[in-house]
Structure 1
Amino acid sequence: MERWLPMELASTVRHDGEGGPADDLATIEGTKRWIQKQADLLADHVAVAELAADEDVRLRIIELRQAVRALFAQAVSPAPPSPADAHHLMPADRAVTHLNTVAAREPVAPQLHWPTRGVQGTQLLSAEKDPYVRLLAALARSAIDFLSGPQREQLRSCTAPRCVRYFVKSHGRQEWCKPSCGNRARAARHYSRRHTVTEGG
């Protein structure tokens, strides 16, 4: 299954399986673990081994997540947004400005590769020395790419009971982010129908 950095970032808010939403970025240690898990997606931008997240970095990543989730909520409209933050979303114009500002903090230039054998291509070369600026800019640029690309049209908010995730619809009939959410939603519908019949009878 394809992974996207903005989806991984948005999914740091998740249901804990018990009482309610959990936040993988709630602590510095949790933030470090999350960054390490994204090493493959960040490899072209920054070496995660260079990073030792502190409170400032944690808060900056959370602010980026707020911007991403606010724009995800806009993208799935008129369907409802994730219930995790539906009532305190960052305004969309502020979210766009924030993503653009963070992305612009890293000066990059495209570099053309033209080998005599093999495949020609390009990559972005960064002039930024600070790995934290590169990290945040990579997260912001990935969100910009995602939200301006074809994936946005398939973005959905999972409607299963207690789920707070967004997901990219991978086939025509997909309604939930994962099979366990589908099972839970079907069970809730079945319970609701039986409960209504019992009350009406």
Structure 2
Amino acid sequence: MQDSPSRDTRIALDLALTVRHDGRGGVVDDLADLAGLGAWVRAHPDTVPDAERLTADEQTLAAVREVRAAARTLFARAVRPGEASPADDARLLPVPEALRRLNAAAGRTPTVPVLHWPDAGEPAVRSEPAHGAGPDLTAALAQAVIGFLAGPDRQRLRACHAPRCVRYFLKEHPRQEWCKPSCGNRARVARHHERRKRTA
């Protein structure tokens, strides 16, 4: 069993997973509008310091969606030689453009390293906005994606290729092929049906 994923890894994966299967053959975008972005931020209170003060507008939504597009492009690169998520087949940016967008977004807020050391735990360093700078969701997300892609968890990143799944996941053990057991079940059923069709 692998170590627990880092905060950056969790944020980066959660952002990528805002593109998901709708259960009927299509793809849903949880960040399709401001209400969706607000709901996602509220569901992830540790994403950005002072997230409760965040005021999202159309410009913020567009910027977050750009970071997500860059992240999913770079996730597709990270899983090579494996295939990218089927949701990304026609949507990938050129890698240099994805890198440019991600790095530009990460620079939107100057940050400083802040040491956190709970009484019953190990010290941890987190980047937080420099004194006087307001929270910037886009910068926080971009910095988390960069931290994940530059860190050790990237080596475990995989795209799930079960029927109808569009998720990326971290491989937890050597034989893991799917993001969750239900995807494994769907993949086995689909293979069984395909074999029966060929022999019929």
TM bucket normalised to smaller: 0.7 to 0.9
Corresponding residue for residue 46 of structure 1: 49
SS in 2 for 1:109: strand
Cα distance in 2, alignment partners of residues 171 and 141 from structure 1 = 27
Normalising by structure 2, we get a TM-score of 0.87
Cα contact 2:112–2:127 (8 A) shared by 1 = yes
Runs of 5+ in structure 1 lacking a partner? none
Per-residue CA distance 1:133-190 (angstroms, 9 max, x = gap): 2x21111111011001111111000010111111110111110011110000000000
2:195 maps to 1:193: yes
1:99 Cα offset (Å): 1.3
- 1:47-126 equivalences in 2 (<5 Å): 47-111=50-114, 122-126=125-129
Larger radius of gyration: 1
Match of 1:18 among 16, 24, 41: 24
- Alpha carbons of structure 1 residues 100 and 86: separation in structure 2 relative to 1, 3 Å: same
Corresponding residue for residue 5 of structure 1: 11
1:78 Cα offset (Å): 1.6
Cα distance in 2, alignment partners of residues 194 and 125 from structure 1 = 56
Give the paired residue count.
Answer: 191
Report sequence identity in percent. Answer: 49
Cα distance in 2, alignment partners of residues 172 and 38 from structure 1 = 30
1:85 Cα offset (Å): 1.9
Runs of 5+ in structure 2 lacking a partner? none
- Alpha carbons of structure 1 residues 29 and 170: separation in structure 2 relative to 1, 3 Å: same
Corresponding residue for residue 148 of structure 2: 146
Corresponding residue for residue 30 of structure 1: 36
Normalising by structure 1, we get a TM-score of 0.87
Greater length-normalized contact order (CA 8 Å, ≥ 6 residues apart): 2
Cα distance in 2, alignment partners of residues 138 and 183 from structure 1 = 36
